[in-house]
């Protein structure tokens, strides 16, 4: 992940985690159709652990990786049930944690923080985490009106646009097929932000 973006989440972990916990993820209503029952799931860039906690309540075997130890600590405070299930790590070079062979990967609001030339490596790292017929659910902004220049927001975070469905094509070139995609409003009510969510499935390996 882009270093200035990591620096922001490191210094603002408490504020970011509290903000995430204050709203329900717009993806949460899709979890039951995106992932098969009792799946082994990995959340890459789990933030406050909010989505992992929901997935655990649904009966999944859940794990997470995040670039910042500060967010790991915050997630374990908000969701003690995640203790022992979170490790530090980041795309684009991510070795499969917790034995790999995941039935599904969640990557919510993460891929836009990776420089465009590193996205193919990030996609290969995600694919390596999946078993055959594993699923990937990711979200990226399809509208972001608060970008001030050089693909960054006012906090210095990198936001690479997903023009012409470029990220989706990268995964398709790795043997993944599109299951469904949709757009949704921002969970935090920001009019300047809209999201595109994509569900993909890997074939046999």
Spatial separation of the C-alpha atoms in residues 149 and 153, rounded to whole Å: 7
Read off the CATH number of the domain in which 128 is found. Answer: 3.40.50.150
- pLDDT for 165 equals 79
User: How many domains, the chain?
Assistant: 1
The contacts of residue 60 (CB under 8 Å, 6+ apart) are 35, 38, 39, 40, 41
pLDDT in tens, 116-135: 999 999 999 999 999 999 99
Domain enclosing residue 81, as ranges: 3-202
Rg (CA), the chain: 16
- pLDDT for 26 equals 82
For residue 145, pLDDT beyond 90:
no
Of 35-39, 103-107, 115-119, which gets the smallest average pLDDT? Answer: 115-119
φ/ψ of residue 22, rounded to 5: -80, -10
- pLDDT for 190 equals 53
Confidence of residue 185 (pLDDT cuts 50, 70, 90): low
Q: Strand pairing of 176-185 and 130-144? A: unpaired
Give the end-to-end CA distance of the chain in Å, rounded to a whole number: 27
* Mean confidence (pLDDT) of the chain: 90
Confidence of residue 143 (pLDDT cuts 50, 70, 90): low
pLDDT in tens, 77-88: 999 999 999 999
What is the rounded average pLDDT of the residues 38-59?
A: 97
DSSP bridge partners of 184: 195
For residue 201, pLDDT beyond 80:
yes
pLDDT in tens, 154-178: 888 888 866 557 899 999 999 999 9
The model's pTM is 0.92
Spatial separation of the C-alpha atoms in residues 126 and 46, rounded to whole Å: 14
- pLDDT for 73 equals 97
- Dihedral angle sign, alpha carbons of residues 141, 164, 43, 34: positive
């Amino acid at each position: 992940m882009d270093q200035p973006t990591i620096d922001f989440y490191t210094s603002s972990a408490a504020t970011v985690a509290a903000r995430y916990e204050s709203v329900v993820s717009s993806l949460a209503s899709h979890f039951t159709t995106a992932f098969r029952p009792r799946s082994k799931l990995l959340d890459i860039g789990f933030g406050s652990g909010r989505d992992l906690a929901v997935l655990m309540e649904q009966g999944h075997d859940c794990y997470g990786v995040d670039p910042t130890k500060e967010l790991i600590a915050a997630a374990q405070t908000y969701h003690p049930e995640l203790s022992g299930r979170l490790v530090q790590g980041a795309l684009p070079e991510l070795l499969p944690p917790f034995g790999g062979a995941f039935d599904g990967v969640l990557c919510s609001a993460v891929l836009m923080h990776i420089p465009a030339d590193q996205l193919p490596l990030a996609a290969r790292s995600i694919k390596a985490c999946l078993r055959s017929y594993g699923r990937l659910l990711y979200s990226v902004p399809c509208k972001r009106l608060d970008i001030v220049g050089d693909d960054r927001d006012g906090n210095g975070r990198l936001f690479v646009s997903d023009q012409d469905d470029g990220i989706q094509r990268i995964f398709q070139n790795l043997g993944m097929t599109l299951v469904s995609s949709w757009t949704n409003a921002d969970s935090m009510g920001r009019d300047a932000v809209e999201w595109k969510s994509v569900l993909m499935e890997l074939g046999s390996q």
